[in-house]
Every structure is written in C-alpha cells, then in structure tokens.
C-alpha cells in the first residue's frame, strides 16, 4: 500500500507543478528534455464516434452527451419562434410562417440524414460559439460530409464566420449548384 501512496503523492506533485498536460495518452517531449504524460479530459474529449440524439433544427444537433453542435458554414431557415426568425423575415420580406415551413423541410432533411446515427466531428479555428455550442463539420461513418450534403441538396444557405472558413470555398460551389439546379428549398422559389 505504501507504493501506491508514493505514486499518488508524485502524481499530485506533478500536476501541481504543471508537469502533466491534458493531451493524449502519448508522451510529449519538450526542448527542456522533460517528458510529459497526460490523460484526455474536458475540451480534449474524443468526438470521433458520437451519437446524434436528436436534430434541433436544420443546422443544429444534440449529441447523446447533451452537447449541442452548430454546423459550421451553413444556415437553414428558422424553425422556432426567435429573434433571428423576426430579423430574417424583415430582411427577406418573407412571412415568418413561410420561413418556418422552409425550416421544417430543412429540419426533416437533416433529421433523416443524421438523427440516431454515429458521427465524427471535425473542428475549425474555434471550438465553441458564444452560446456554448460546439462548432463542427460533421461526418457519417461512410464519409458523407453532412454540412456539405445539406447544402448540396439545397436545404441550407451559407453562413461564413471567420476564422471558421476551412471549407467555405467548397460549400460555396455546392450552394451555387443547388440553386442553379433548383434543389431542395430552391425548388419552391
């Protein structure tokens, strides 16, 4: 039992001295010659195989963990009553009910695509937005890039917010093709 007390004391001392980092299980070599070991936790959680518990709206998911994910680079019509719905209605001149009907179509497309499925999240420059939602590019196990598929099928507009711009050029190309070919929401206009 004494050896366990010594190990625990050393581990606590190392943590206090900042000699352990929250990275991966691998060792990290530093120029000073020290080696740091760590256990992943907190923001370093693994998002390679997570379950989408439910789709909140066309561009927002809720994971089984309870975390919400805002899909980077896309924007779907508002489904729920909100300040954004009011602003979108004023900006576009569309009736709020018409916007919500389009939002329902986008929601249904996204729900069929990912709800109840395992996905992998990829992050860009910022991991969370001001509301605490994860900002991510989402992939199905077969490699389908969910953000791009929603745009490609015509169920989302683009919303590029720097510095999260990794795939903005490819999403723009898909958006133009969807509009030109009157896919999804664009077929009603």
List the domain boundaries for the chain.
2-42, 45-188
Q: CATH code for 45-188? A: 2.40.50.90
Positions annotated as catalytic residues are 70, 78, 133
- Per-residue pLDDT of 63-95, as tens digits, reads 999 999 999 999 999 999 999 999 999 999 999
Q: What pTM did the predictor assign?
A: 0.76
Beta-bridge mates of residue 139: 120, 145
- Per-residue pLDDT of 23-73, as tens digits, reads 333 333 334 444 444 444 455 689 999 999 999 999 999 999 999 999 999
Euclidean distance between CA atoms 184 and 172, whole angstroms: 16
User: Residue 15 has which token pair?
Assistant: 């943590």
Those residues with Cβ within 8 angstroms of residue 87's Cβ, 6 or more apart along the chain or in another chain: none
Euclidean distance between CA atoms 165 and 101, whole angstroms: 29
**CA angle in degrees (0–180, nearest 5) for 173-175-178:** 110
């Amino acid at each position: 039992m004494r050896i366990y007390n010594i190990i625990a004391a050393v581990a606590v001392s190392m943590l206090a001295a900042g000699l352990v980092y929250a990275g991966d299980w691998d060792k990290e070599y530093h120029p000073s010659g020290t080696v740091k070991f760590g256990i992943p936790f907190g923001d370093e959680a693994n998002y390679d195989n997570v379950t989408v518990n439910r789709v909140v709206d066309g561009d927002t998911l809720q994971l089984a963990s309870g975390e919400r994910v805002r899909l980077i680079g896309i924007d779907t019509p508002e489904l729920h009553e909100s300040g954004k719905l009011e602003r979108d209605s004023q900006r576009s001149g569309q009736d709020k009910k018409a916007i919500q009907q389009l939002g329902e179509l986008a929601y249904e497309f996204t729900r069929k695509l990912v709800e109840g499925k395992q996905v992998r999240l990829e992050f860009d420059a910022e991991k969370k937005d001001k509301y605490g939602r994860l900002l991510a590019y989402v992939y199905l196990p077969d490699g389908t890039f969910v953000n791009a598929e929603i745009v490609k099928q015509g169920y989302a507009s683009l919303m590029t917010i720097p510095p999260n711009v990794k795939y903005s050029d490819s999403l723009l190309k898909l958006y133009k093709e969807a509009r030109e070919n009157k896919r999804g929401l664009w077929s009603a206009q």
